[in-house]
Chain A
Amino acid sequence: MDKRKIISAGLAILSIVLFIFIWYLCTDVLELVPARTLPSPEKVLDSFIKKFHDKNPDGGTLIEHTLASLQVALTGYLWAIIIGVPLGIFMAWNRNVDKFVRPLFDLLKPIPGVAWIPLMIVIFGIGIKSKAAVVFCSAVVPCILNSYTGIKQSKEVHMWVARTFGATRLQMLWTVAIPTALPHIMTGIRVALSSAWVAIVAAELLGSTKGLGFMIQQSRGIYRTDIIIVGMLAIGICGIILSIILSFIEHLVVKGRK
């Protein structure tokens, strides 16, 4: 068991090291691509560290941009959870709610979150509101879908048990259906996080005054590929950290399943 863990950790490190090595080989060593087009890993690392306190060339440090993106993304994301999860649950639990909401939901569901950007910018401008709204539109769909599926997983025999113990319908929802759905709800929340993160960067690329997407877009204009890659790395790292936090919460909330 321990041996297997060491091997998998070794492979993980190896893949990253190999990737950086090939990158290094193509740039600094063999100079296959001009440094202006693809800077070396060394240069990117240097810019990465510098960008922590350097406001050039886009008017903000890496931390400021990251926080700006996180703030907007989390605002839209939390609203998506607050509205999407209960909505999914009630759609699955109550046939009339389902009938009422479903046609609209089915119509809006296939629209990618990014497609909302132009409309939201026209309505809300390029401030925090429009981007939070775009994030919301992307993240709310997986929240609703997975909560809905989760509630529908409730076993009839579990409902019977609850009924033989005299549980009311509301108690059946709280003590049977929602616990059954919880792993699915958490999955929905996790999927929604990646959707939210994709949406925020896309929204910032198209119209924004700060944030990681904005930083990348600005750097493209002045041909600073090193900063573009710094921005991409920051997006990746934030994504990893957020999903680690979520797995931790999931572990606390979902008990007794495999």
Chain B
Amino acid sequence: MQMDSKGKLIPVIEGRKICKRFSSKRGEKTVLEDIDLSVSENEFVVLFGPGQCGKTTLMNILSGLDVPTSGTVYCDGEIVQRPAPERGVVFQAMALFPWLTVRGNVAYGLKARGVPRDEWMERSDYFIKLVGLEGFEDAYINRLSGGMKQRVGIARAYCNDPKVLFMDEPFSALDAQTRYMMQDEIARIWETEKKTVVFVTNNIEEAVFLADRIILLTNCPSHVKKEYRIDLPRPRDYTSRDFLLLRDEITKQMDSTL
């Protein structure tokens, strides 16, 4: 954790007045409007909002994959302009490399940076075990189920030891059962290997189950409507009274979309 000259904590990720406009033949469309947010170390922040409200665009901007029309993103106090290994991403479509094995995928980032073999073997072993894929090291991706694929995606991002991990609706393609299981898993992994996480979802249960803090976004053009600090003890129970109350309260605040 770093501090600035006045001894104030510098957030791991900070977005100031982020705007994003797309122009097409039909005119300009503002997707994000004046978004301010900050994420501190080892915090699990969920970006939550209705359907097409630009959550993915916001995440892409925070990770450096996309550039804002105006506004600035800081990572550890430095301006973000392009993607970097210190900002890992777990993509919605998984985006695993089918030509590599589980280990090849998990160790990809370390190999790309020229980390010696012993080290990437050891680290990939650890994270493959952590996500529960022991014994599948040499399997190719097309042999895995949806849940297992997403585990590989998570291990791949973790293995590179980023400062912050962005997850873009990682479980949206999974069936309901697997989704619950993976939510448990991600909570367990996060408790074992503390990490700053920015998690995008449009599923309220998922948000309340995982988040330290939920940032509620409005419909397009998106801005921050409200923030909720979730202090429920972990591991959380989907059916507890507090959980349900919180869930209802946030749902009421959410803009409805067709």
Interface membership of B140, Cβ < 8 A: yes
Cα distance A132–B99 when bound, in Å? 35
Cα distance A32–B169 when bound, in Å? 74
Interface membership of B173, Cβ < 8 A: no
Interface membership of B91, Cβ < 8 A: yes
Indicate if the CB atoms of B99 and A160 lie closer than 8 Å: no
Interface membership of B72, Cβ < 8 A: no
Distance between A141 CB and nearest chain B CB, rounded to angstroms: 26
Cα distance A180–B113 when bound, in Å? 21
**CB within 8 Å for A163 and B82 given contacts A157-B91, A256-B140, A256-B142:** yes
Indicate if the CB atoms of B65 and A164 lie closer than 8 Å: yes
The range of chain A's interface size is 20 to 34
Chain B contacts of A36 at CB under 8 A? none
Cα distance A257–B141 when bound, in Å? 9
Chain B contacts of A180 at CB under 8 A? 99
Chain B contacts of A258 at CB under 8 A? 142
User: Which residue of A155, A160, A171, A255 contacts B140 across the interface (Cβ within 8 Å)?
Assistant: A255
Q: Contact flags (1/0) for B59-93 with A, using CB distance below 8 Å?
A: 00001110000000000000000111101110101
Q: Contact flags (1/0) for B85-124 with A, using CB distance below 8 Å?
A: 1011101010101111100000011001100000000000
Interface membership of B196, Cβ < 8 A: no
Indicate if the CB atoms of A166 and B97 lie closer than 8 Å: no
Indicate if the CB atoms of A158 and B97 lie closer than 8 Å: yes
User: Which residue of A160, A165, A257 contacts B98 across the interface (Cβ within 8 Å)?
Assistant: A257
Indicate if the CB atoms of A161 and B91 lie closer than 8 Å: yes
Chain B contacts of A166 at CB under 8 A? 83-85, 109, 112-113
Chain A contacts of B112 at CB under 8 A? 162, 165-167, 171, 175
**CB within 8 Å for A160 and B89 given contacts A155-B95, A176-B97, A179-B99:** yes
Interface membership of B160, Cβ < 8 A: yes
Q: Contact flags (1/0) for A77-88 with B, using CB distance below 8 Å?
A: 000000000000
Q: Considering the complex, which residues of chain B in the window 184-243 have a beta carbon less than 8 Å from any beta carbon of chain A?
A: none
Q: Contact flags (1/0) for A214-258 with B, using CB distance below 8 Å?
A: 000000000000000000000000000000000000000011111
Counting from the closest, the 3 A-B pairs by CB-CB distance are A256-B140, A165-B109, A179-B99
**Pairs across A and B, CB under 8 Å, 19 listed:** A155-B95, A160-B89, A163-B82, A164-B65, A165-B113, A166-B83, A166-B84, A166-B109, A166-B113, A171-B112, A176-B97, A179-B99, A182-B99, A254-B99, A256-B98, A256-B99, A256-B101, A256-B140, A256-B142
Binding site for B on A (CB under 8 A): 155, 157-158, 160-167, 171, 175-176, 179-180, 182, 254-258
Binding site for A on B (CB under 8 A): 63-65, 82-85, 87-89, 91, 93, 95, 97-101, 108-109, 112-113, 140-142, 160
